[in-house]
Amino acid sequence: MPAPDDDWRLQGQERYLHGAAFHRAFYRAPRPEWDHDHCKFCYAKFMEGAIPDTLQQGYTTDDEKHWVCPTCFDDFRERFQFVFRS
């Protein structure tokens, strides 16, 4: 079921995520000094390794700049017209 218009996770992401292409991937830090990223909607933390209260995989844009957790991807896929690349 799509998220309602007043969902707290909606904070202007349509400016850069509407129609974005995503693929499912394991999180890998882009640089040695960078250890995590956050879901662009709910701020869940993505990290490498089995760290408590973090995600190790989710959906990311082709440039791996934007990460979205599985729950938020499902909740906003239709609204943002996400494209899924397998």
What single string gives the DSSP state of each residue in 11-63? SSTHHHHTT-EEEEEE---SSTT--EEEBTTT-PEEESS--TT-BSEEEEETT
Residue 3 domain flag: no
Q: Does residue 70 belong to any structural domain of this protein? A: yes
pTM: 0.92
Say how many domains are in the chain: 1
Range of the domain at 46: 15-84
Q: What are the backbone angles phi and psi of residue 35, rounded to the nearest 5°? A: -110, -10
- The β-bridge relationship of strands 83-84 and 21-26 is parallel
Is 48 part of any domain? yes
Does residue 2 sit within a domain? no
Interatomic CA distance for residues 48 and 54, integer angstroms: 9
Q: Is residue 9 part of a domain?
A: no
Q: Along the 86 residues of the chain, how does pLDDT read in single tens digits? A: 678 889 999 999 999 999 999 999 999 998 889 899 999 999 999 999 888 999 999 999 999 999 999 999 999 999 999 999 98
**Residue 25 domain-assigned (yes or no):** yes
